[in-house]
Structure 1
Amino acid sequence: MKKIVNPWRGVEGYRCYGCDPNSPQGLRMEFYEDGEEIVSRWQPRPEYQGWVDTLHGGIQATLCDEISSWVVFRKFQTSGVTSRMEVRYLKPVHTSDDHIVLRARVEEQRRNIVRIGVRLFDGRGELCTEAVCVYFLFPKEKSRTEFHFCECSVEEAEG
């Protein structure tokens, strides 16, 4: 796996709830490329509970949505917006787990519409949540001029 470089790190005004590494309240997600998949290993925190020791379903949905956007950034080298999302909660995710793993990949593309499948696994590797995110891709020029997207690359060293 290779770590994906965050192209917005250090950009003035960048405060993404999902991936800003300096956001005290945010999720601070990091992403890796593993073949066709984008992967994130994330540590749940107690402040993201819905019920005692249970990761809030809205946080799970946000994690799935965020990794889907990174599939778009890396695999299509542009940005976009979520147009639809469906989440299936299969098992509880515990905030006491030392980590969870998300894996996402492109399932289908039709012109500028992309369907991305996401799987969320608990610390024991059990599938807990599945999501399908449908993304509308921006033209690359719009992505550069309006959203400061330049390139989504990976670090040279293996992660």
Structure 2
Amino acid sequence: MKKIINPWKGMEGYNCFGCASHNESGAKMEFYEDGDEIVSIWKPRPEYQGWIDTLHGGIQAVLLDEICAWAVLRKLQTTGVTSKMETRYRKPISTKDTHIVLRASIKEVKRNIVIIQAKLYNKDEEVCTEAVCTYFTFSKEKSKDEMHFTHCDVESEEILPLI
């Protein structure tokens, strides 16, 4: 597994709720490439609860949406926007869990429409939430001009993320 380098890190004005490491109220997600999959290991926090000790469904949707975007960034080397997201909540996630794992992979590409499947696993490796995102991708030119995106690389070293 290799850590994905955030192409916007240090850019003025960049404050993504999902992936900006300096956003105090954000999720501060980091991503890894593992074969065809994009992976994120994330620590639930009490401030993201819905019901007592339960991770809010909206936060789960944010995490799944974000990892789908990173699948597009890394695998297709472009940007875009989510146009549809179908989410299935199967099992609650405790905000007391040591970590959760998200995995996403591209299932289909038709011109500029991409279908991505994502799953959220609890610390016991049980699937708790699933999503299918339909993504509208931008041209390389629009990605560069409007999203300040040129490429998305990985670090050279293989790593085992700390769980």
Matched to 1:47, the amino acid is E
CA distance in 1, matches of 2:117, 2:34: 15
TM-score by length of 2: 0.97
Q: Which amino acid aligns with 1:13?
A: G
Distance of 2:99 and 2:39 partners within structure 1: 13
Partner of 1:147: 147
SS at match of 1:144: helix
* Matching of residue 100 in structure 1 with residue 69 in structure 2: no
Deviations 1:8-42 (A, max 9, x none): 00000000000001111000000000000000000
- Which residue does 1:44 correspond to in 2? 44
Partner of 1:132: 132
Runs of 4 or more consecutive aligned structure 1 residues displaced over 3 Å after TM superposition: none
How far apart are the structure 2 equivalents of 1:118 and 1:37?
Answer: 9
Provide the secondary structure at the position in 2 that maps to 1:20. Answer: coil
Larger strand percent = 1
2:101 is paired with a residue whose SS is: strand
- Structure 2 Cα separation of the partners of residues 31 and 38 of structure 1: 7
Per the alignment, residue 17 of structure 2 pairs with 17
TM-fit CA distance, 1:123: 0.7
**What's 1:117 paired with?**
117
Please name the residue that 1:67 is paired with. Answer: 67
Q: C-alpha distance in 1, partners of 2:152/2:21? A: 16
Q: Distance in 2 between matches of 1:54 and 1:76?
A: 34
Instruction: Give the drift of 1:150.
Output: 1.6
Structure 2, unaligned runs of 5 or more? none
- The whole-number CA distance in structure 2 between the counterparts of 1:41 and 1:142 is 30
CA deviation after TM superposition for structure 1 residue 158, in Å: 1.0
Quote the Cα distance in structure 1 between the aligned partners of 2:27 and 2:77.
23
- CA RMSD in angstroms comes to 0.4
Query: Equivalent residue of 1:51, what SS?
Result: coil
Gaps of 5+ in 1: none
Q: Does 2:89 align with 1:81?
A: no
Identity %: 63
**Are 1:57 and 2:54 matched, yes or no?**
no
Partner-residue secondary structure (3-state), 1:114: strand
Deviations for 1:122-145, whole angstroms, at most 9, x for unmatched residues?
011111000000000000010001
- Look up the equivalent residue of 1:104 and give its one-letter code: A
